[in-house]
Amino acid sequence: MTTAPIEGGVRRNRVAAFFGRHPVGMILAAPYAVYIAVVFAYPLGFSLWISFQDYFFAAPGAIVDHPFVGFDNYTAVLSDPAVRQAFGNILVFLVINVPLTTALALLLAVALNRVVHARTFLRVAFYVPYVTASVAVVGVWLFLFNSDGLVNTVLGPLAPDPSWLVNEGLAMPVIAVFVTWKQLGFFILLYLAALQNVPKELYESASVDGAGAWSKFWSVTVPAVRPATALVVILSLITGANLFTEPYLLTGGGGPSGASTSPVLLMYQRGIQQGEPDFAAALGVLLVIGVLIVAFVNWRFIERRD
């Protein structure tokens, strides 16, 4: 702590009391604050406003009124069978994706953490899907999981019929596995960071107690990386809730018969393609409320166990 300079001290103190000790910070942070207000806060409010109006796209310059319709859009969203199907699809996605991501990321991070040889090669291999554009890797998955693709060629008579991406029961699981593969590198990175902070003594005292590798993993590693697990679960939930590119391209717009439609794909189709932004805005609000509730429950659950 430095003391305020003596000269002009009183005035300086009064300024400091209001603006803080470094008012220049307000100027440095201003562009970001303005950006958040324009691109984040205002659209957020606007989204809520649209969701309570009968809102439609009008010709440029035309002045139309958007009557307040209360919860009509929300009722329309909740009673729409396509919305229920999309939320069901996301549930299937999350049930496969979240546990698979968490378990594989932690196991691979623990294994990678103790690797001495070929570190660079192994790291690059696991991270590279994460840095590559979804659109690019979707291209090759389409090729692999096509009805006469390599996967079915290898499976031969075991190949599912109808094939993976056009099979109502398999389209969403394939997307869930795709996203797990695509994002895993990032989550491995998070776990590797967390593993650096696990005190070595914990492992040593577990060894003294005669614990094997597996029991050390359960009794030392898993509890020690719990905050990272909370982060991994929340981030993979958010990724899942935001699913768009994969159902749009991999299953040709959420097919077959809507079995892989995601809420965000539905927002695009209804809000922008079919010109019902009010419906899409209400759907977006409900989606985010859902994500926040699940994230909060997850956070409380992990907090309580601490």
Partner 1 sequence: MARWPTVVRYAVLFAGALLFLFPFYYMLIGSLQSEPDTSVGGAFPTSGLTLGNYADINSRVDLLGSLVNSGIFTGGVLLCTVVFGVLAGYALARLQFRGRGTLFVIVLLVQVIPFQLLLVPLYVLIVRGYGLADSYLGMILPFAINTTAVFVFRQFFLQLPDDLFAAARLDGAGELRILRSVALPLVRPALLTAVLLTFIGPWNEFLWPFLITKDADMQPLAVSLANYISNVASRAANPFGAILAGACVLAAPAVALFIAFQRHFTSTDLGSGVKG
CB 184 within 8 A of CB 104: yes
Q: How far is CA 146 from CA 90, 140, 152, 162, in A?
A: 23, 10, 8, 10
Q: Does 19 bind partner 1 (CB under 8 A)?
A: yes
Query: How many of the chain's residues bind partner 1 (CB under 8 A)?
Result: 104
CB nearer to partner 1: give 172 or 237. Answer: 237
The residue to which tokens 């990272």 are assigned: 228
Site string for partner 1, 97-136 (x = CB under 8 A): -----------x--xx-xx-xx-xxxxxxxxxxxxxxxxx
In DSSP notation, 116-181 reads: -SSHHHHHHHHHHHHHS-HHHHHHHHHHHHSTTSHHHHHHGGGS-SS-GGG-TTTHHHHHHHHHHH
Cβ of 304: how many Cβ atoms within 10 Å?
7
Tokens representing 110? Answer: 């623990």
**Residue 70 CB, nearest approach to partner 1 (Å):** 19
Half-sphere exposure of 28 (CA within 13 A, CB side): 4
CB nearer to partner 1: give 37 or 169. Answer: 37
**Residue 237 CB, nearest approach to partner 1 (Å):** 10
**Residue 246 CB, nearest approach to partner 1 (Å):** 10
Q: Does 292 bind partner 1 (CB under 8 A)?
A: yes
Site string for partner 1, 252-281 (x = CB under 8 A): xx----------x--xx--xx----x--xx
**Residue 166 CB, nearest approach to partner 1 (Å):** 15
Q: How far apart are the first and last CA of the chain?
A: 35
Give the C-alpha separation, 104 to 113, whole Å: 14
**Residue 252 CB, nearest approach to partner 1 (Å):** 7
Contacts with partner 1 in 186-205 (CB under 8 A)?
Answer: 189-190, 192-197
Contacts with partner 1 in 54-93 (CB under 8 A)?
Answer: 57, 60
β-strand partners of 53: 68
Q: Which CB contacts under 8 angstroms, 24+ apart, belong to 130-133?
A: 130/182, 130/183, 130/184, 130/185, 130/186, 131/185, 132/182
Helix H or strand E encompassing 80? none
Out of 170, 225, 285, 294, the residue judged to bind partner 1 by CB under 8 A = 285
Site string for partner 1, 20-59 (x = CB under 8 A): xxxxxxx-xx-xxx-xx--xx-xxx-xx--x------x--
Contacts with partner 1 in 222-251 (CB under 8 A)?
Answer: 228, 231, 234, 238, 241-242, 244-245, 248-249
Site string for partner 1, 153-172 (x = CB under 8 A): xx------------------
Give the C-alpha separation, 107 to 212, whole Å: 16
**Residue 90 CB, nearest approach to partner 1 (Å):** 12
